[in-house]
Amino acid sequence: MTQSPIDPAVYDDLKDAAGAEFVVELVTTFLDEAPGMIAELRIALETEDNDGFRRAAHSLKSNANVFGAHALAAPARELELTGTAQATPDVLALLERVDLEFVRASAALKSMQNE
């Protein structure tokens, strides 16, 4: 069985601390804004905008960690730590992981909201 892309303990702690209704709003906002963060990563990479690349990676990492989406946060963190927006094979592979993990995290978060 595949491990959930969302750490249920982190998600439950967030619900306990912030309330289930507020978490629904947070998740909705994240699901709306994360594709833009990923697009910002790609644009910064294309334009070799190091600061923009680090900011977008940091934002995605931080937001993913709020929900316990550690599998999404991990490649975003690695991108943040690269320090430069260079389209190396490693960076491109990390971007592919970000895309994949966002799809997995998105589906899991939507499912968790319906529970």
What local confidence, expressed as pLDDT, does residue 1 receive?
Answer: 41
Percent of the chain with pLDDT over 90: 91
Does 73 fall in a domain? yes
Positive or negative: CA dihedral 23, 24, 29, 35: positive
Does 76 fall in a domain? yes
Does 2 fall in a domain? no
Average pLDDT of the segment spanning 81-102: 95
Query: Where in the sequence is the domain holding 109, given as residue range(s)?
Result: 11-113
Does 47 fall in a domain? yes
What local confidence, expressed as pLDDT, does residue 83 receive?
Answer: 78
45-88 per-position pLDDT tens digit: 999 999 999 999 999 999 999 999 999 999 999 999 997 899 99
Does 3 fall in a domain? no
Q: How many domains does the chain have?
A: 1
SS3 for 90-101 is: HHHHHHHHHHHH
More confident call, 73 vs 3: 73
Does 5 fall in a domain? no
Sequence-separated (6 or more) residues with CB below 8 Å from residue 83 = 50, 54
Percent of the chain with pLDDT over 70: 97
What local confidence, expressed as pLDDT, does residue 67 receive?
Answer: 92
- CATH number of the domain to which 78 belongs: 1.20.120.160
